[in-house]
Structure formats: structure tokens, C-alpha cells
Amino acid sequence: METTFDIVYNSENQTWPGSHHISEKEDLTIAVLDSSFNPPTLAHKELLLKAATEYSAGAHILLFSTKNADKELTGANTQQRLYMMQKLAIDLHEQSSIRNIAVGVTKHARFFEKADEIHAWLRSQDPNRKVQLGFIMGYDTVIRLVDQKYYDQPVVQALQPFFQDNFVVCADRAGYTHTDIELFWSKNQVIHMFKDKIRRMTIDDNLASISSTQVRSQIQRNDNIDHLVDQNIQQYIRDNCIYPTK
């Protein structure tokens, strides 16, 4: 199977994910943070840091898809996003306990397609290693994951193969009431069916409220974004006028 998934940066300077951090006899768990990264924010950083703390992984991927199920590519172009993702990966590698981190790109929009592609790519590197992917998502993304409108077949049927070799880590986001969130978790039938494969975590409310849309708006108004984006990414945005002020 030929894939369109590719690793464009990795912290190991060798074939990723490598084996010197992980016993070749062990199953490998890879944490995947999939987002538009337009631009990468402190919320993205916190999601990976918190997931790494709560759900131990032997490797990590910042993943960008050039195709989105809901919207066209606007703002930063593909190369600019991948470069900012690399800056985030380097920062995480150098300033936290996260090791073995890569930046990946795919042409697929739906999660089960992304997962299949990553697994196929990993098998081409090492066909004998068993790998489990843990997709880190915001609450709003999990809502879309179990929404029938994104699938050509019944959603449960579409997600069954996905959850065989993968799991989801969901972080609640601002903008939803506690009641709505708890009703979703308790009443959604798809969530109930795969409840053993969907794990929840919380991050700081201030960080949970940060969105790339908010960052772009504040840049365009020439407002301060020190509390939203790392300094090195801010500098890259300014140097390249990625989001011009209005």
C-alpha cells in the first residue's frame, strides 16, 4: 500500500520512530496531535504535554492534513504551517520530558484514513512491531469524529476498525456548558459503544480557551499574543507577515 503520509522532521536524526528509546519487543504507543496549526498555539503545546504525562507514549507526532473535511486552506500555507510545527516540536523536545517527536503530513481528512496511512507507513519501516496510535483531540473534534455526516457508511461500522488499533484522548474545550458536555458523554450511543477506547483529560481553562482563530484575529488587530503563542513562532509570523494586520 502506497501512502501519502510523510515525516518532514523528527528529533532523532535517524529513521523515525527508531528503537533506542523503546525495546524492540515492546508494543509502541504513539501520541498523535492532529490539527490545522494555523498557527500552533500554547493550547497545542499543553495538549501534548498533558497527554504525555497522563498516557505514556514512546513517540509523538504533530500531524497536519492538507485536506480538511470542513474548510479550505486559508492563512498560513502548508510549508509555513509545517515550519511552525517544527519549531513547536523542537521546543517540546528541548524544554520538556517529551522525546522522539516528529512532524508528519497527510493528504487525508478523516481520522480513520489518517490512522490507516500512518499504520501502513510504520509497517513499511518495521513490519513486526505492534503499534497503537493515541489521537489527542479537543471536545469539538470528538463531536465530529462520531458525527454520521462525515461517513459514507454507518458511523459505528466505520469506526470499529479505527478503534481496534487506536484510541482517543479528549480534552474538554471552552465554549460548551458542563451540562452539554456531560449529556454528550452519557447519552451519545457511538461514544457509549467505544467508551473503553475514549479517554478524557482536562487542561487549564485559560489554555483550553485558546484557538488559532483567536490568535489570527488578535494578530490582525495588532493585539498582544504573548499569552497565546510561543515567542519563536511569533517571531516567524512577524518576519513572514503570515497574518497581515487590517
User: What pLDDT is attached to residue 226?
Assistant: 95
Give the tens place of pLDDT for each residue, 22-66: 555 568 899 999 999 999 999 999 999 998 888 878 899 999 998
Angle between helix axes 42-54 and 78-95 (nearest 10 degrees) is 50
Residue 184 has pLDDT above 70, yes or no: yes
Average pLDDT, the chain: 88
Contact (Cβ atoms closer than 8 angstroms) between residue 15 and residue 125: yes
Decide yes or no: CATH 3.40.640.10 for domain 6-240: no
**Residue in the block written with cell 459505528:** 156
Measuring CA to CA, how many Å separate 126 from each of 16, 61, 86, 208? Answer: 10, 17, 24, 36
CB atoms within 10 A of CB 184: 15
User: What pLDDT is attached to residue 2?
Assistant: 52
Handedness of CA 114, 74, 47, 21 (dihedral sign): positive
Residue 116 has which C-alpha cell? 490507516
Alpha-carbon Rg for the chain in angstroms: 18
Residue 19 has pLDDT above 70, yes or no: no
Give the tens place of pLDDT for each residue, 212-234: 999 999 999 999 999 999 999 99
Residue 124 has which C-alpha cell? 513499511
Give the tens place of pLDDT for each residue, 111-140: 999 999 999 999 988 888 889 999 999 888
Measuring CA to CA, how many Å separate 83 from each of 47, 61, 69, 178, 241? Answer: 19, 14, 23, 36, 14
Contact (Cβ atoms closer than 8 angstroms) between residue 37 and residue 10: no
pTM of the model: 0.91
What is the rounded distance in angstroms from the CA atom of residue 219 to the CA atom of residue 224? 7
pLDDT mean over 202-220: 90
What is the rounded distance in angstroms from the CA atom of residue 86 to the CA atom of residue 89? 5
